[in-house]
């Protein structure tokens, strides 16, 4: 199916995210919402459609829906100390079955290069008020605020899935080593993966062995930073699709492990 070519994210799209980072409140969002509704969100939907074509051309069994694959810009603040109502990035996933959180995915994260958070002013620090310290802003929580990127792999939240991935590694260490070498050759080291401190139950025999770091992970992901020029240009779908192809050994291993 022919789609309108993806033109890249416009300067006004990224300026909206920068502005939202500086004025993260409902009044500012309402006053500038037209940019989000009429430009930024449609641009992300167009990227999803372009990625579907780019993945298909490379034989990658990944796809997304221009409506259902996008994450909401509204934050869930019910159980968070951070009550800012909006994310300062837009994002989406593409999976084998098109469902947003199916195991084995490509995640696309769009925000201005260098992050969309305003610079921290050291003169605002009050040593007697912990809420004014940089750590109170959650600088190390997640990837947001650090610039655009694409990620691929397995962001697993259910223990049966995590253990199934671990069993596949333990059952065929040679196959897993081959995956790691292929990713390293492509310049894609596996992320730390929110590891557990102790060897997981059932895998204690691998403590101190070469598989220990892989078995302690709970997520198996690789990431590629994107530049401002890349997200602003029409070649972004090809850039992300090439990254997904380089991540293919990890995706294939995990899909096989999880059936």
Backbone angles phi, psi at 110, to 5 degrees: -115, 120
What does the pLDDT read at residue 83? Answer: 87
What is the tens place of the pLDDT at every residue in 152-178? 999 998 999 999 999 999 999 999 999
The residues facing 150 across adjacent strands are: 108, 224
pTM, full prediction: 0.88
Q: How sure is the predictor about 206, in pLDDT bands with cuts at 50, 70 and 90? A: very high
Strands (E), the chain: 90-95, 105-110, 149-154, 220-225
Tokens of 110: 């769009």
Kind of pairing, strands 90-95 and 149-154?
Answer: unpaired
Provide the Cα torsion 145, 88, 83, 222; round to 10°.
-50
What is the tens place of the pLDDT at every residue in 135-152? 444 443 455 557 999 999
**CA-angle at 184, arms to 166 and 60, nearest 5°:** 75
CA 113 from chain centre, in angstroms, equals 15
What is the tens place of the pLDDT at every residue in 81-127? 888 899 999 999 999 999 988 999 999 999 998 775 543 344 444 44
Q: Using CB atoms within 10 Å of the CB of residue 214, give its burial: 0 to 12 exposed, 13 to 18 middle, 19+ buried.
A: buried
Tokens of 31: 């006053």
């Amino acid at each position: 199916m022919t789609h309108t070519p993806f033109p890249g994210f416009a300067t006004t799209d990224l300026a909206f995210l920068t502005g939202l980072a500086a004025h993260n409140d409902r009044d500012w969002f309402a006053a500038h919402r037209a940019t989000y509704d009429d430009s930024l969100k449609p641009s992300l939907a167009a990227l999803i459609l372009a990625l579907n074509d780019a993945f298909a051309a490379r034989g990658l069994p990944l796809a997304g829906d221009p409506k259902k694959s996008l994450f909401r810009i509204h934050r869930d603040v019910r159980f968070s100390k951070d009550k800012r109502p909006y994310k300062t990035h837009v994002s989406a996933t593409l999976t084998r079955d098109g469902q947003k959180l199916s195991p084995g995915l490509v995640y696309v994260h769009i925000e201005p290069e260098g992050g969309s958070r305003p610079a921290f002013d050291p003169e605002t620090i009050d040593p007697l008020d912990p809420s004014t310290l940089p750590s109170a802003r959650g600088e190390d929580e997640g990837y947001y605020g650090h610039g655009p990127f694409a990620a691929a792999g397995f962001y697993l939240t259910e223990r049966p899935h995590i253990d199934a991935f671990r069993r596949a590694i333990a059952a065929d260490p040679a196959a897993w080593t081959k995956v790691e070498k292929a990713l390293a050759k492509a310049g894609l080291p596996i992320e730390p993966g929110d590891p557990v401190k102790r060897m997981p139950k059932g895998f204690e025999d691998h403590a101190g062995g070469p598989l220990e770091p892989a078995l302690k992970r709970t997520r198996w992901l690789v990431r590629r930073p994107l530049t401002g020029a890349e997200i602003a240009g029409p070649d972004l779908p090809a850039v992300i699709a090439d990254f997904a192809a380089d991540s293919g050994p990890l995706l294939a291993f995990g899909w096989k492990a999880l059936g």
